[in-house]
Amino acid sequence: MSPHPGGPPGHHSRDYSQAPLLLFWEMTRACPLSCMHCRASAISDPLPGELSTAEGHRLLDQVASFGEHPPTVIFTGGDPLRRRDLFDLLAYARDLGLRFGVSPAVSQGLTRDTLSRLADAGASALSLSLDGSRPETHDAIRRQDGTFARTLQAAGEARDLGFREQINTTVMAETVRELPEIFHVLRQLDLRTWELFFLIKVGRGAEGDTHDLPPAGCESVANFLYDASRYGITVRTVEAPFLRRVLRMREERGEYWDDPLYRTLRSDLTTLEGAPSLPSGLARVGTLDGDGILFVANDGTVYPGGLLPYTLGNVQDGDLPSIYRSHELLRQIRRRAFTGACGACSLREACGGSRARAYATTGDALASDPACVWASAAFAEGG
């Protein structure tokens, strides 16, 4: 699944108290792939209890009822193409006036004809995953040969069809050294948005086949991403809001993380792309799970985010706007009522740390983000 395909244009407000920016609907867990790090632990067949077409319509009605600025709906999975009623649901969303994007798995079903139908149905944004710069890496992570080639083909076709398209890449030990080359692939395809998911150990990602980075590694990657954001490409992260701290450190203090991993990533980047010459396009503010983001699972359970499986309610017996606006956990996240280092941090408003990683690590969604070097240093000092 892919959090922010395209991202709605022109929405820079940070007040998400009344409506999220993005609403992810995990339409199904069925998926022809079985990626090593899959959040959803996707399976080949749909689970019992998936929302029906009529229940999906009611969910979309609830999304529309957020009012003047309803969230953009991201149809995700599993693989949304496994829903036979996908185009019915897209048409329903369009009739409601909702904006939406689709996050399909790259399978045999993602043909040019399917992409064209998605465009005709009104999907303006599309995200595709690329977890390696070469077939051996990407196909091993996706556990299916040929996926790398199909992804590049689909990316080119979607670009030609006019989608706002983004490439998603998981940041983990298995991919980190290829990040500069993946960025190079993106540039060669003339794609403009790169979104990087910093691995959270949930779903299949918790099974031990993939490995998250230590705080120092995350800091190296964040500094590399600052550099990558200086080539005119939109760079965003998921579950790494400390990138916004790194942005400030680089621009306000001229400080960067000078370690071997960062030096290697930066050197590879400049070898491939030349020295960056533009100002960084990184955003200084952004979303957190529950603060601009909301997630509805295949059975209607509502979570703050796809990687934060804390149950807030269910769309079948609750009202989505009420859940989002009133749930105490979300209100705490939005007012930055954190504990530990994140609670004491001077940048908690702009950053806030990954609530999903705090929850996956400690069982407390308001605890510190253990991947942040500031938080881990405070922990080492007994803070």
Using the contact rule CB under 6 A, the part of the chain among 132-140, 165-173, 186-194, 371-379 near ligand SF4 is 371-379
> Smallest Cα–Cα separation from 170: which of 149, 146, 193, 199?
199
Answer for the pair 210, 175: CB distance below 8 angstroms, yes or no: no
User: Is residue 199 within the footprint of ligand SF4 (CB under 6 A)?
Assistant: no
Tokens of 261: 């991993």
Task: Tell me how far, at minimum, the Cβ of 198 lies from ligand SF4, in Å.
Answer: 11
Among 63, 179, 307, 351, binds ligand SF4 (CB under 6 A): 351
CB-nearer residue toward ligand SF4: 203 or 352: 352
Q: How many residues bind ligand SF4 (CB under 6 A)?
A: 15
Please, which residues have CB within 8 angstroms of residue 10's CB and are 6 or more apart in sequence? none
Task: Tell me how far, at minimum, the Cβ of 379 lies from ligand SF4, in Å.
Answer: 10
Task: Tell me how far, at minimum, the Cβ of 196 lies from ligand SF4, in Å.
Answer: 16
CB-nearer residue toward ligand SF4: 144 or 287: 287
Task: Tell me how far, at minimum, the Cβ of 249 lies from ligand SF4, in Å.
Answer: 10
User: Is residue 352 within the footprint of ligand SF4 (CB under 6 A)?
Assistant: yes
How far is 39 from 26, CA to CA, in rounded Å? 11
Contact map string, positions 233 to 272, toward ligand SF4, x by CB under 6 A? ---------x--x---------------------------
How far is 141 from 128, CA to CA, in rounded Å? 14
How far is 304 from 330, CA to CA, in rounded Å? 7
User: Is residue 219 within the footprint of ligand SF4 (CB under 6 A)?
Assistant: no
What 8-state DSSP symbol labels residue 291? B
Among 137, 239, 369, 370, binds ligand SF4 (CB under 6 A): 369
> DSSP alpha helices (H): ranges in 121-259?
135-142, 147-160, 179-188, 215-228, 243-252
CB-nearer residue toward ligand SF4: 341 or 365: 341
User: In angstroms, what CA-CA distances link 246 with 39, 62, 115, 220, 252?
Assistant: 26, 37, 37, 10, 10
Using the contact rule CB under 6 A, the part of the chain among 35-43, 223-231, 258-266, 341-349 near ligand SF4 is 341-349
Using the contact rule CB under 6 A, the part of the chain among 88-96, 147-155, 323-331, 368-376 near ligand SF4 is 368-376
DSSP 97-130: T--EEE----STT--HHHHHHHHHTT--EEEEE-
How far is 196 from 131, CA to CA, in rounded Å? 10
Angle, helices 243-252 vs 215-228, to 10°: value is: 60
How far is 70 from 22, CA to CA, in rounded Å? 9
Contact map string, positions 280 to 319, toward ligand SF4, x by CB under 6 A? ----------------------------------------
Q: Exposed, middle or buried: residue 9 (CB in 10 Å: 0-12, 13-18, 19+)?
A: exposed
Angle, helices 215-228 vs 373-380, to 10°: value is: 160
How far is 330 from 308, CA to CA, in rounded Å? 12
CB-nearer residue toward ligand SF4: 185 or 238: 238
Task: Tell me how far, at minimum, the Cβ of 139 lies from ligand SF4, in Å.
Answer: 34
Among 341, 356, 365, 367, binds ligand SF4 (CB under 6 A): 341
User: Is residue 203 within the footprint of ligand SF4 (CB under 6 A)?
Assistant: no
User: Is residue 39 within the footprint of ligand SF4 (CB under 6 A)?
Assistant: no
User: Is residue 355 within the footprint of ligand SF4 (CB under 6 A)?
Assistant: no
CB-nearer residue toward ligand SF4: 155 or 375: 375
Task: Tell me how far, at minimum, the Cβ of 337 lies from ligand SF4, in Å.
Answer: 12
Using the contact rule CB under 6 A, the part of the chain among 19-27, 124-132, 163-171, 349-357 near ligand SF4 is 349-357
Please, which residues have CB within 8 angstroms of residue 335's CB and are 6 or more apart in sequence? none
How far is 170 from 101, CA to CA, in rounded Å? 20
Query: By the criterion CB under 6 A, which residues form the site for ligand SF4?
Result: 242, 245, 341-342, 345, 347-348, 351-353, 368-369, 372, 374-375
